[in-house]
């Protein structure tokens, strides 16, 4: 009996430690995931949704908490369906209408939802508050709606296609549900294996107190991130002070981390990108010419493609030097051919974004008319806008 109890403690402890080690990254999308989805179809959205749910430990912890107090398949199907409908509604509606909330704040609320469901499992409302618990079905639906906002904020980090936006969202949501079903099946096997055991009550208490602890720690971590988003100046100053000015070089591009206002820039350009819109800005560089750049937005993350196009090319060829989703970027480029070099930005939010671009070096601006006395005009360039997402 003692051996079995120790084994239960070991299994539960490993579960909680695994949960805690990954909770800070619940929802997180890597750059590799972002780039893989840019040129992918709906199957990739579905795959990303499934893998995203399986790595979304806050959602999984909440579902794990739900099934603890359920004993029949009918009840499990009823409550899990309510949660699914809740997060599906807000995922689709918020993403389709570009409703964006602070993801740290949303994840903090999701963390509290994990605490809530575990607290309800141990009958905490009656034991510690001497009140009847709220209606569980209504609470699960409401918390499901909140979880949907969390999924939507992450999905909107991707450069979604305007032409098939709704289908992309639905594909992602289908993947979410497939991932949830897979995780749920494994959880039910674990619960079923212990439910008839005399030690299940002990296992249940340890697991639910562990969920409360994990949810509380996640809440503190997300609130720490939220503080950085509403007070970014101090955070940016510390980050810039610790960054190195030496970066990696690839295809003539050196990514550095010089502070935005540290150098004497030659040109400062302001570019406004309306919501759900895209823009390009180009400079002309001769082969071997070098220029430095630094740009930042007014806080919004944009998908961007830093690329170049050879002069006289009629095939539509262009060379991408860097693609990512960010609110700032800096570095230098040595041109590997004569032609235009610059950025394509896509704004996926409904709000306009302003890009402040600073440059210096050997280049010619294409948005400034040639002044008298300057050298002969630049030869005609290929300035076709590239939608690098498709």
d(CA 120, CA 302): 41
Distance (Å, whole) CA 103 – CA 325: 16
- Classify residue 69 by its DSSP letter: G
Per-residue model confidence (pLDDT) at position 296 = 93
What is the spatial distance between Cα 293 and Cα 344, in angstroms, rounded to a whole number? 14
pLDDT value of residue 73 = 81
Residues of the chain below pLDDT 50: 1-28, 232-247, 257-259, 370-390
Q: Where in the chain is the domain with CATH 2.60.120.680?
A: 246-365
Neighbour order of strands in the sheet with 302-310: 319-326, 302-310, 339-347, 277-285, 364-365
Let me know if 127 is exposed, middle or buried by CB neighbors in 10 A (0-12, 13-18, 19+): exposed
The pLDDT of residue 211: 94
Distance CA 387, CA 316 (A): 11
CATH classification of 246-365 is 2.60.120.680, yes or no? Answer: yes
pTM check: above 0.85: no
Cα 330 to Cα 22: distance, rounded to the nearest angstrom: 31
Rounded CA Rg of the chain: 26
Confidence at residue 202, expressed as pLDDT on a 0 to 100 scale: 87
Q: What's the confidence (pLDDT) of residue 132?
A: 93
The answer to whether the beta carbons of residues 319 and 370 sit under 8 Å apart is no
Backbone angles phi, psi at 255, to 5 degrees: -90, 120
Based on DSSP, count helices (H) and strands (E) in the chain, helices before strands: 11, 11
- Give the pLDDT score at 347: 87
Q: Where are the alpha helices (DSSP H) in 156-253?
A: 165-195, 200-230, 232-242
The answer to whether 179 and 49 are in contact (CB under 8 A) is yes
Q: How far is CA 232 from CA 225, 226, 256, 351, in A?
A: 10, 10, 20, 20
Cα separation of the two ends of the chain: 61
Predicted pLDDT at 373: 44
Q: What is the pLDDT of residue 230?
A: 65
């Amino acid at each position: 009996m003692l051996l079995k109890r120790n084994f239960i403690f070991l299994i539960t402890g490993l579960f909680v430690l695994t949960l805690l080690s990954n909770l800070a990254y619940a929802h997180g999308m890597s750059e590799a995931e972002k780039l893989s989805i840019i040129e992918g179809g709906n199957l990739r959205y579905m795959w990303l949704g499934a893998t995203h749910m399986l790595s979304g430990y806050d959602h999984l912890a909440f579902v794990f908490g739900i099934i603890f107090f359920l004993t029949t398949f009918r009840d499990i199907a009823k409550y899990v369906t309510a949660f699914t409908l809740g997060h599906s509604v807000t995922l689709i509606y918020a993403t389709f209408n570009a409703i964006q909330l602070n993801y740290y704040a949303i994840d903090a609320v999701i963390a509290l939802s994990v605490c809530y469901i575990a607290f309800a499992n141990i009958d905490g409302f009656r034991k510690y508050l001497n009140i009847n618990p709220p209606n569980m079905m209504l609470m699960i639906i409401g918390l499901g709606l909140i979880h949907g906002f969390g999924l939507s904020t992450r999905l909107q980090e991707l450069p979604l296609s305007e032409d098939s936006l709704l289908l992309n969202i639905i594909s992602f949501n289908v993947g979410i549900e497939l991932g949830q079903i897979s995780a749920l099946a494994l959880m039910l096997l674990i619960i079923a294996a212990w439910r008839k055991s005399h030690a299940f009550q002990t296992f249940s208490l340890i697991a639910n107190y562990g969920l409360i602890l994990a949810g509380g720690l996640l809440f503190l971590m997300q609130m720490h991130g939220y503080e950085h988003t509403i007070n970014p100046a101090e955070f940016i100053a510390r980050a810039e002070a610790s960054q190195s000015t030496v970066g990696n070089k690839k295809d003539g591009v050196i990514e550095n981390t010089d502070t935005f206002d540290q150098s004497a820039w030659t040109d400062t350009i302001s570019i406004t990108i309306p919501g759900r819109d895209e823009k390009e800005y180009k400079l002309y560089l001769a082969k071997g010419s070098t220029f430095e750049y630094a740009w930042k937005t007014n806080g919004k993350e944009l998908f961007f493609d830093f690329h170049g196009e050879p002069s006289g090319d009629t095939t539509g060829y262009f060379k991408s030097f860097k693609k990512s989703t960010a609110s700032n970027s800096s570095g230098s480029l040595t041109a590997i051919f004569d032609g235009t070099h610059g950025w394509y930005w896509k704004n996926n939010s409904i709000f306009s974004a302003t890009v402040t671009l600073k440059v210096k070096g050997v280049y010619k601006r294409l948005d400034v008319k040639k002044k008298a006395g300057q050298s002969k005009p630049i030869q005609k360039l290929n300035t076709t806008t590239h939608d690098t997402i498709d």
